[in-house]
């Protein structure tokens, strides 16, 4: 129950100011109004630029997920190399 109340509190603290700002009709900051020119892009660059132009929230979610997956992949490769050179790799036990 404590965890659920913390999640609800975070949603309120992050969401209410955005809703209030939207209700007042605030202007979009200049940085959020910028669009990427898609004419000379192809492949993966076009894909990400299109998401950036269409919906910043989806773009941010995709980029965050990719960063997490890339970090996981780097950790796995590092773990394999450390085991190959004979280092003992395991989780650290915390004794408090």
pLDDT above 70: residue 32: no
Contact 56, 41 (CB under 8 A): no
Q: What is the pLDDT of residue 27?
A: 64
| Digit-coded pLDDT (tens) for 47-88 | 778 887 777 788 888 889 999 999 999 999 998 898 889 887
Contact 51, 59 (CB under 8 A): yes
Q: Which two tokens stand for residue 66?
A: 């990719």
Q: How many CA atoms lie within 13 A of 9 on its CB side?
A: 6
pLDDT above 60: residue 18: yes
Q: At what angle are helices 44-54 and 56-84 packed, to 10 degrees?
A: 140
Q: What is the pLDDT of residue 33?
A: 64
Report how far residue 1's alpha carbon sits from residue 5's, in angstroms, rounded to the nearest whole number.
Answer: 6
Helix, strand, coil content of the chain in percent (nearest 5): 70, 0, 30
Q: What is the pLDDT of residue 41?
A: 78
Least confident of 1-10, 24-33, 57-66, 86-95: 24-33
């Amino acid at each position: 129950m404590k965890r659920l109340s913390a999640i609800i509190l975070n949603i309120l603290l992050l969401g209410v100011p955005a809703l209030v700002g939207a209700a007042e009709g605030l202007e979009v900051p200049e940085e959020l109004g910028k669009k990427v020119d898609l004419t000379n892009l192809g492949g993966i660059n076009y894909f990400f630029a299109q998401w950036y132009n269409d919906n910043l929230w989806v773009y941010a979610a995709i980029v965050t997920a990719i960063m997490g997956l890339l970090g996981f992949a780097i950790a796995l490769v590092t773990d394999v190399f450390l085991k190959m050179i004979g280092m003992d790799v395991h989780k650290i036990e915390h004794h408090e």
